[in-house]
Structure 1
Amino acid sequence: MHELPLVFFTVLAQASAGLLILSVIHQVISGKNASQSTLFKMGIAALVIVGIAGCSAILHLGRPFRAMNALFGAGRSPMSNEIISCAIYGGLLFVSLAVTYLRPQLKGLQLAARLLTAVAAVVLLILIPKVYTIETIPQWHTVFTPLQMVLAAFTAGGALALIWQPTRTNFLIMVIATIGSFLMTPSYMAHLSATAPAMLQKGMGFFDAKMALYCLALVMAVVSYKKKVLPMAACSGIVFILAELAGRIAFYDLWSIGM
């Protein structure tokens, strides 16, 4: 169970980043027609999710009060870069929400703050996988590691975005991310069979659970989009997060002792 806090941290941080990025894309596309109230609610949701992710990461530390030591590894330590980028993303997200709430008339400043936060979210999505592309762990040192983590941002984050913005763009991004994850799975399994067959065998239950939950979540997302049933969209987002958690447990078990 030692890696379980990292499971929640990585999945939730990526879901938050995906949700925020999609909200900003919608704002840029819609321009003045974008609902500031909706954008604010999505920002709050993204902040809460990344806040939970950050708390999960702290629980992984042997001595949580020494978390600030991560600053000393900035630039040379992938884990320090990951932690710092998450803190910057969360901080910018808070600032953008504060600007929206305190200065609702300053639309240009709000957009600039959200765009900067979206850039920080993209950086976070790039830096998290770099912690795990380790040459000495061949089952992790593969293109499938960053690919599955980036896709997670837009399966879970995309489904969550449909709660507030059931737009065609958000729906298509979520579907494409889900199909992309399905399509990479056979090649990913082949790679794991060649590099860590025993560990793969032990973790197949979690991989199978991920695929089954994907199917359920995708069906729920399609129904919610077609029928405009918002509670179904929320359920779809939750199930996608559960699917990514199952897959991430399997991912960590490829190196560590099984959870």
Structure 2
Amino acid sequence: MPRRKAIGLFSVMCLFGLGVIVGTYHVGQPLRALNMLLRVGHSPMSNEIVLSAAFAALGGLGALGLLLNRATPLCNALVWLAAIVGVVFLYAVPQIYQLPTVATWRSSYTTAMMILTPLIGGGALAALFGVRRLGLLVSVLAILVSFCLRPGYMATLMSADSALTAAQHSWFTAQAILLAAGVVGVVVCARLKSSAAVLAMTAVVVIAAELAGRIAFYNLWTLPM
């Protein structure tokens, strides 16, 4: 594996590890995550915890080995195994939010949007770290799919809770504008041979867009009285 890709893979796994640590605070006290292991296979959150730990361990060890140029065949196998676990993990995460008590979350759009997020941001990061053509293609296609799904998603949210959805207008608008800017960035990157700065800015923009969308999503938390 080229040095740049190895560095990129290791950097991304470090970011994921940081995300896992931050994510443990969803349960109030991080140590409660250990109790959730008792419900693996039955609880969506338990499944998420186990899959995230497996992905982090496999991907982290594989990426570190490739970075250090040690046991490359084994590390490649670990990375590919991590990729398989990652696909299952991506599907498992949205299942946590399919709550009967939260109408704005319980829809197929939640699953679709959460799967598109790593494709949008991950594609841009992959392009930045060396997988340029495929990364940009995945990112821009995911953005276009996101735009196609947006009208139906907004209609579903409005029918579930119009007032709460309207309150997130600024966040959803910011997401759409930033994603559109990301598409422009991809076009510029495709035309320029040396565009590392533009590529980095594009990655930052699309990740910021998805963060804005995720803030809006969590603000849609509502319980019937």
Common fold, TM-score beyond 0.5? yes
- The residue aligned with 1:16 is none
State how far apart, in whole Å, the 1-side matches of 2:74 and 2:16 are. Answer: 23
2:92 aligned with 1:116: no
Q: CA deviation at 1:153?
A: 0.8
SS of the equivalent of 1:211 reads helix
% identity of equivalent residues = 32
- Letter aligned with residue 221 of structure 1: V
- Letter aligned with residue 76 of structure 1: H
SS of the equivalent of 1:76 reads coil
SS of the equivalent of 1:158 reads helix
- The residue aligned with 1:39 is 5
2:97 aligned with 1:148: no
- Could you tell me which of 198, 208, 218 is aligned with 1:242? 208
Q: 1:73 to 1:232 in 2, by over 3 A?
A: same
- The residue aligned with 1:91 is 57
- Could you tell me which of 145, 151, 154 is aligned with 1:189? 154
- Letter aligned with residue 40 of structure 2: A
State how far apart, in whole Å, the 2-side matches of 1:181 and 1:247 are. Answer: 11
Contact 2:48 2:93 in 1 (8 A): yes
- The residue aligned with 1:252 is 218
- The residue aligned with 1:218 is 183
Q: CA deviation at 1:159?
A: 0.8
Q: Give unpaired runs (5+ residues) of structure 1.
A: 1-34
State how far apart, in whole Å, the 2-side matches of 1:103 and 1:165 are. Answer: 18
Contact 2:125 2:135 in 1 (8 A): no
- The residue aligned with 1:129 is 94
CA displacement, residues 183-238 of structure 1 (integer Å, 9 cap, x when unaligned):
10011111111111111111111111100111122222322332131122111111
Question: When the two structures are aligned, how many residues end up with a matched partner?
Answer: 222
Q: 1:249 to 1:101 in 2, by over 3 A?
A: closer
State how far apart, in whole Å, the 1-side matches of 2:67 and 2:154 are. Answer: 47
2:70 aligned with 1:70: no
- Letter aligned with residue 26 of structure 2: H
- The residue aligned with 2:18 is 52
Q: 1:153 to 1:80 in 2, by over 3 A?
A: same
2:130 aligned with 1:165: yes
- The residue aligned with 2:48 is 82
Q: CA deviation at 1:245?
A: 1.0
- The residue aligned with 1:178 is 143
Give the TM-score normalised by structure 1: 0.79
- The residue aligned with 1:5 is none
Q: CA deviation at 1:102?
A: 5.3
- Letter aligned with residue 152 of structure 1: T
Alignment RMSD, CA only?
1.9
List structure 1 segments (4+ residues) > 3 angstroms apart after TM superposition.
101-104
Contact 2:171 2:216 in 1 (8 A): yes
| Higher relative contact order, chain-length normalized (CA < 8 Å, sep 6+) | 1
State how far apart, in whole Å, the 1-side matches of 2:80 and 2:10 are. Answer: 16
